[in-house]
Chain A
Amino acid sequence: MAGLLNLLYVFLYAPILYVVFVSFSEDIVWPFPLSLTSQAYADLFSNSLYADALANSLILGVGSGIISTAIATAGVIGILRYPSKRRTLIIVIFLSPLFVAELLIGISSLAFNSRILGLPGNMFSAIAANAVEGIAFSFLIILSQLVRYDWQMDEAAMVFGARPARCFWEVTLPTIWPSLLGAFLISFILAFNNLEISFYNLGAIPTLPSVAWGSLRFGLGPELFALAALTNGFVFLIFAVMYVLMRTGLVKFGYRGK
């Protein structure tokens, strides 16, 4: 099984490595034999389109991440802590976006915004439409972690004088933050790199995926490969830090074993 796991990682990362590799080579169609250049990186930083696209993608990611995590956290706490007849209904509602393809989310909000409300493409619609998907994923992640949480802990805190807000801050949050972080990260990534939902909601506002999509007609620009390589570099830097923290046992990220 360990072998299969490693194979899967190889499969998943081969194209990523390819992207990094291509970003440093002169010919992106047939990058052999290798002739290294950092031309793509120079082009990347001299073209403001990419900076705009990156900024917009970040806004989308952060906005959707925050909305999704906040709404999903409240929803999970609601169904786990306060038993209700409508619990199953609420679970179905919160998970329902998972059952609607991104393409349909994008197209339907385009149809509603442009034909019913008469709105042009805008950032708010795009964040909202992305957050719908993010809520469902966040709900799933947080729910699967929080089913084991003992809410009596909060009752104990309340008996000892903690008001609900204090109680959440002092007792609930320190225990559940890893799953909230996970939920935020996932909804961030989904919105950051989303093509179909954002494309139909943003009109002419560029994001990284839509720039990539737009440049397809003329063949992908090497700058895009460079940008992807940089993003991956950044992500892996974070992973490396996490690894060191876990290795030294400094932070456990919710893991309670030895």
Chain B
Amino acid sequence: MKPDSTWRDFLTPFVLLTGPGTLFIGVTLLVPLLTVVMFSFWRTESYELYADWNFDNYRVLFGEAAYRTFLIRSVVSAAVTSLICLVLAWPVAYYIARHGGRYRLLLVLLLAAPFFTGVILRIAALQGILGPGGLINMSLGLAGFAPIKLLMYTQFAATIGHIYLYIPFMVTAIYLSLVNFDFALLDTAKINGAGPFRAFIEVTWPLNWIGTSIGTVLVFIPCLASTITPRFLGGPNATSFGMSLSQQFGETGTWALGSAMSVVMFIFSFLVIAVLKFTIDLRRSGFTGAGR
């Protein structure tokens, strides 16, 4: 007989399979984020939060020049890093997907393996290579050359650090998209008169745009919130929004202001996602059935 009680109708396989994840993310991500939004309208006094609703935190945030500088610095740095990663990652991912053969998986895992060494150690090692007492400049010094100033405690050095940390995400995202891409389509384009470049622009790029934009998000977001890299590699003039934010929850204990900063950071992350989302047309993404 047909099972017809209402709760059974609701508990479809779809709900049973996607429900746990939805619930988990709701409880461990959404609820805490909403808490932070709430705190951003509260007030902290000597490490205690008081629920008197106000906009003071935002007023401070937008009023003081220092915070604006941190924010702009972080946004620009994240954008630049994303762009450089994009340009470098595409050919690499393409090569692995197209010519990696049976070792494809291994080649991709090799990109992920550096993550087994903690961020701090890797950044310390980078500092050991790039910094004033580091491998490059000391060697130059021993050989009688002037050290490269650009590498020592500058925004440039911090950007190298960001690229170092996050380019594997970009390569992997593009790679995952490319392994699902039918390269025979390129031959079709070429038979119909498109040169290699034209074929890439007309076929490969649009059909892998979703993967590319996911990769961009995966680089942009952690760069925007980066704290350790600018601290070690960036020097005194590279204080980032993330560094200042984490201070509010640590040393200074101004949780309410920190919450407001979190909200602002989230809004900026969201803006980028919204812009990218705007460029995605699921029906033209090549995922059949995804547009339904």
Q: Which residue of A lies closest to B262 (CB)?
A: A104
Q: Is the CB of B121 within 8 A of A9?
A: no
| A158-177 interface (Cβ within 8 A of B) | none
Chain A residues within 8 Å of B242, by CB: 101, 103
B2 interface residue per 8 A CB criterion: no
How close is B231's CB to chain A, nearest CB, in angstroms? 9
Chain A residues within 8 Å of B49, by CB: 115
B209 interface residue per 8 A CB criterion: no
How close is A78's CB to chain B, nearest CB, in angstroms? 3
Q: Is the CB of B269 within 8 A of A99?
A: yes
| B80-104 interface (Cβ within 8 A of A) | 88, 91-92, 94-96, 99, 101-104
Chain A residues within 8 Å of B218, by CB: 98
* 9-residue interface stretch from B15-23, B58-66, B147-155, B186-194: B15-23
Interface string of B259-292 (1 = CB under 8 A from A): 1001001100110010000000010000101001
Query: CA–CA, A96 to B222, complex, Å?
Result: 14
**Interface residue count for A (Cβ, 8 Å)?**
102
* 9-residue interface stretch from B3-11, B174-182, B196-204: B174-182
Known contacts A4-B91, A75-B18: does B118 contact A208 (CB below 8 Å)?
yes
Q: Which residue of B lies closest to A105 (CB)?
A: B29
Query: CA–CA, A14 to B161, complex, Å?
Result: 13
| B100-141 interface (Cβ within 8 A of A) | 101-107, 109-122, 124-126, 128-129, 133, 135, 138
Q: Is the CB of A193 within 8 A of B225?
A: no
Known contacts A19-B121, A255-B105: does B168 contact A12 (CB below 8 Å)?
yes
Q: Is the CB of B177 within 8 A of A103?
A: no
Interface string of A172-196 (1 = CB under 8 A from B): 0000001000100110011011011
Query: CA–CA, A22 to B133, complex, Å?
Result: 14
Q: Is the CB of B125 within 8 A of A107?
A: no
Known contacts A4-B88, A99-B273, A148-B180: does B18 contact A108 (CB below 8 Å)?
no
Query: CA–CA, A190 to B259, complex, Å?
Result: 25
Which of B13, B104, B118 lies in contact with A209, CB distance below 8 A?
B118
**Interface residue count for B (Cβ, 8 Å)?**
94
Q: Report the number of A-B residue pairs with Cβ-Cβ less than 8 Å.
A: 271
Q: Which residue of A lies closest to B103 (CB)?
A: A246
Known contacts A200-B249, A242-B106, A246-B102: does B265 contact A101 (CB below 8 Å)?
yes
Interface string of A50-93 (1 = CB under 8 A from B): 00000000000000000100011011011101111011101001
Q: Is the CB of A129 within 8 A of B273?
A: no
Chain B residues within 8 Å of A253, by CB: 105
Q: Is the CB of B22 within 8 A of A104?
A: no
A11 interface residue per 8 A CB criterion: yes
Interface of B is mostly: helix
Q: Is the CB of A94 within 8 A of B129?
A: no
A45 interface residue per 8 A CB criterion: no
Chain A residues within 8 Å of B113, by CB: 232, 235-236, 239
CB within 8 Å of B: which residues of A?
Answer: 1-2, 4-5, 8-9, 11-16, 18-19, 22, 29-30, 32, 67, 71-72, 74-75, 77-79, 81-84, 86-88, 90, 93-105, 107-113, 115-116, 128-129, 131-132, 135, 139-141, 144-145, 147-148, 178, 182, 185-186, 189-190, 192-193, 195-196, 200, 208-209, 212-213, 216, 220, 224-225, 228, 231-232, 235-236, 239, 242-243, 246, 249, 252-255, 257
Give 19 pairs: A residue, B residue, CB < 8 Å, sorted on A: A1-B91, A4-B92, A8-B171, A11-B164, A14-B129, A15-B125, A29-B133, A78-B16, A82-B17, A99-B221, A101-B221, A111-B39, A132-B29, A147-B287, A185-B112, A193-B119, A195-B120, A231-B117, A255-B105
Q: List 9 A-B pairs, minimum CB-CB distance, nearest first.
A: A78-B17, A101-B225, A15-B125, A108-B32, A112-B32, A82-B14, A78-B18, A1-B95, A144-B176
CB within 8 Å of A: which residues of B?
Answer: 12-18, 20-22, 24-26, 28-29, 31-33, 35-36, 39, 49, 88, 91-92, 94-96, 99, 101-107, 109-122, 124-126, 128-129, 133, 135, 138, 164, 167-168, 171, 173, 176-177, 179-180, 211, 214, 217-218, 221-222, 224-225, 227-228, 242, 245-246, 249, 255, 258-259, 262, 265-266, 269-270, 273, 282, 287, 289, 292
